Structure 1
Amino acid sequence: MMRAAPALLARFGHPAQVVAAGFAVAIGLGAALLVLPVATTEGVSAGWAAAVFTAASAVCVTGLVLVDTESHWSVFGEVVIAALAQVGGLGIMTLATVFTLLVSGRLGLRARIAAQAETKTLSMSDVRRLVLKVVVFSLVCEAATAAVLTGRFLAGYGEPFGRALYLGVFHAVTAFNSAGFALWPDSLMRFVTDPWICLTVAAAAVVGGLGFPVVFELARHWRQPRRWTVLTRITVGTSAFLLVLGTLLFLVTEWRNPATLGPLDGGTKVMAAFFTAVMPRSAGFNVLDIAQMYPSSWLVTDLLMFVGGGSAGTAGGIKVTTFGMLAFIVWAELRGESRVNIGRRRLPEATQRQVVTITVLGVTLVAVSTYALLALTPHGLDQVLFEVISAFGTAGLSTGITADVGVAGHVLLAVLMFIGRIGPLTLGSALALNRRTRRYELPEERVIVG
Structure 2
Amino acid sequence: MWQQHTPHHVQQYMQQNPYRLLALSFLAVMMVGTLLLMLPIASAEGQGTALVDAAFTAVSCVSVTGLATVDTYYHWSLFGKIIMVILIQLGGLGIVSFTTIIASLFGRHVGLRNRLLLSEDVGQDGMKGLLHVTKKLTIYTLVIECIGGLLYVIQLHPYIGNDAFYIGFMQAISTFCNAGFVFFDNDLPYKMVGDILFNINTMLLIVIGGFGYLAAFDIWSHRKLRRFDDLKLHTKIMFVGTVVLIMLGTILFLGVEWANPNTFGPLPIWNKVMAAFFQSVTPRTAGIATVDYNQLHPITLFVTIILMFIGAGPNSTGGGVKISTVMVAILSSCTLFNNRSHVEAFGRRISMVTVLKANGIIFLSILLVLLATCYLAWDEPYDFIRLLFEVTSAFGTVGLTTGITPDLSEGSKWVLILVMFTGRVGVMTVIGTWALRTKPNKPISYAEENVML
TM value normalised by structure 1: 0.95
- Paired with 2:159 and 2:406, the residues of 1 have a C-alpha distance of 31
Counterpart residue identity of residue 441, structure 1: S
Instruction: State percent identity of aligned pairs.
Output: 34
- The 5 Å alignment of 1:307-386 reads 307-386=310-389
Structure 1 position 121, deviation (Å): 1.3
- Paired with 1:378 and 1:325, the residues of 2 have a C-alpha distance of 38
Q: Structure 1 residues 60 and 12, CA, compared in 2 at 3 Å: closer, same or farther?
A: farther
Unaligned runs of 5+ residues in structure 1 are 1-8
Contact 1:14 1:433 (8 Å CA) reproduced:
no
Counterpart residue identity of residue 447, structure 1: V
Structure 1 position 433, deviation (Å): 4.0
Give the aligned partner of residue 415 of structure 2.
Answer: 412
Structure 1 position 109, deviation (Å): 2.3
Structure 1 position 333, deviation (Å): 2.7
CA deviation profile, 1:394-446 (whole Å, cap 9, x unmatched): 11001111122201100110110000011111111122241233423322211
Counterpart residue identity of residue 98, structure 2: L
Give the aligned partner of residue 157 of structure 1.
Answer: 159
Secondary structure, aligned partner of 1:63:
coil
Q: Structure 1 residues 26 and 255, CA, compared in 2 at 3 Å: closer, same or farther?
A: same
**1:287 alignment partner, one of 286, 290, 296:** 290
CA deviation profile, 1:349-402 (whole Å, cap 9, x unmatched): 111111011011111111111111101111111101101110110110011111
Give the aligned partner of residue 210 of structure 1.
Answer: 211
- Paired with 1:186 and 1:331, the residues of 2 have a C-alpha distance of 44
Structure 1 position 105, deviation (Å): 5.1
Instruction: Kindly indicate whether residue 264 of structure 2 is the aligned counterpart of residue 278 of structure 1.
Output: no
- Paired with 1:193 and 1:105, the residues of 2 have a C-alpha distance of 49
Which moves more between the two structures, 330-339 or 250-259? Answer: 330-339
RMSD: 1.6
Give the aligned partner of residue 173 of structure 2.
Answer: 173
Contact 1:316 1:420 (8 Å CA) reproduced:
yes
Contact 1:280 1:395 (8 Å CA) reproduced:
yes
Secondary structure, aligned partner of 1:341:
strand
Which moves more between the two structures, 431-440 or 288-297? Answer: 431-440
Contact 2:259 2:265 (8 Å CA) reproduced:
yes
Secondary structure, aligned partner of 1:181:
coil
- Paired with 1:125 and 1:248, the residues of 2 have a C-alpha distance of 43
Instruction: Kindly indicate whether residue 193 of structure 2 is the aligned counterpart of residue 192 of structure 1.
Output: yes
**1:444 alignment partner, one of 429, 444, 448:** 448
Give the aligned partner of residue 6 of structure 2.
Answer: none
Structure 1 position 12, deviation (Å): 7.8
Give the aligned partner of residue 393 of structure 1.
Answer: 396
**2:115 alignment partner, one of 112, 120, 125:** 112
**2:308 alignment partner, one of 299, 305, 318:** 305
Secondary structure, aligned partner of 2:194:
coil
Give the aligned partner of residue 138 of structure 1.
Answer: 141
- Paired with 2:197 and 2:82, the residues of 1 have a C-alpha distance of 24
Unaligned runs of 5+ residues in structure 2 are 1-11
Instruction: Kindly indicate whether residue 81 of structure 2 is the aligned counterpart of residue 47 of structure 1.
Output: no
Give the aligned partner of residue 3 of structure 1.
Answer: none
Give the aligned partner of residue 5 of structure 1.
Answer: none
- The 5 Å alignment of 1:416-431 reads 416-431=419-434
- Paired with 1:158 and 1:298, the residues of 2 have a C-alpha distance of 31
Structure 1 position 142, deviation (Å): 0.3
Give the aligned partner of residue 4 of structure 1.
Answer: none
Secondary structure, aligned partner of 1:346:
strand
Q: Structure 1 residues 48 and 346, CA, compared in 2 at 3 Å: closer, same or farther?
A: same
Contact 2:15 2:437 (8 Å CA) reproduced:
no
- Paired with 1:417 and 1:12, the residues of 2 have a C-alpha distance of 27
- Paired with 1:147 and 1:338, the residues of 2 have a C-alpha distance of 52
Counterpart residue identity of residue 164, structure 2: A
Instruction: Kindly indicate whether residue 28 of structure 2 is the aligned counterpart of residue 15 of structure 1.
Output: no
Counterpart residue identity of residue 157, structure 1: Y
Give the aligned partner of residue 5 of structure 2.
Answer: none
TM value normalised by structure 2: 0.94
Contact 2:63 2:424 (8 Å CA) reproduced:
yes
Structure 1 position 153, deviation (Å): 2.3
- Paired with 1:78 and 1:13, the residues of 2 have a C-alpha distance of 36
CA deviation profile, 1:25-47 (whole Å, cap 9, x unmatched): 11001111100000001100012
- Paired with 2:126 and 2:230, the residues of 1 have a C-alpha distance of 18
- Paired with 1:150 and 1:400, the residues of 2 have a C-alpha distance of 27
Structure 1 position 185, deviation (Å): 2.9
Secondary structure, aligned partner of 1:188:
helix
CA deviation profile, 1:304-327 (whole Å, cap 9, x unmatched): 000000110011000000011111
Give the aligned partner of residue 122 of structure 1.
Answer: 125
- Paired with 2:429 and 2:337, the residues of 1 have a C-alpha distance of 30
Give the aligned partner of residue 247 of structure 2.
Answer: 244
CA deviation profile, 1:268-325 (whole Å, cap 9, x unmatched): 1111111101111100000000000000000110000000001100110000000111
Secondary structure, aligned partner of 2:382:
coil
- Paired with 1:297 and 1:261, the residues of 2 have a C-alpha distance of 12
Counterpart residue identity of residue 452, structure 2: I
- Paired with 2:61 and 2:121, the residues of 1 have a C-alpha distance of 18
- Paired with 2:15 and 2:356, the residues of 1 have a C-alpha distance of 25
Q: Structure 1 residues 230 and 415, CA, compared in 2 at 3 Å: closer, same or farther?
A: same
- Paired with 1:340 and 1:431, the residues of 2 have a C-alpha distance of 31
Structure 1 position 221, deviation (Å): 1.1
**2:233 alignment partner, one of 230, 233, 236:** 230
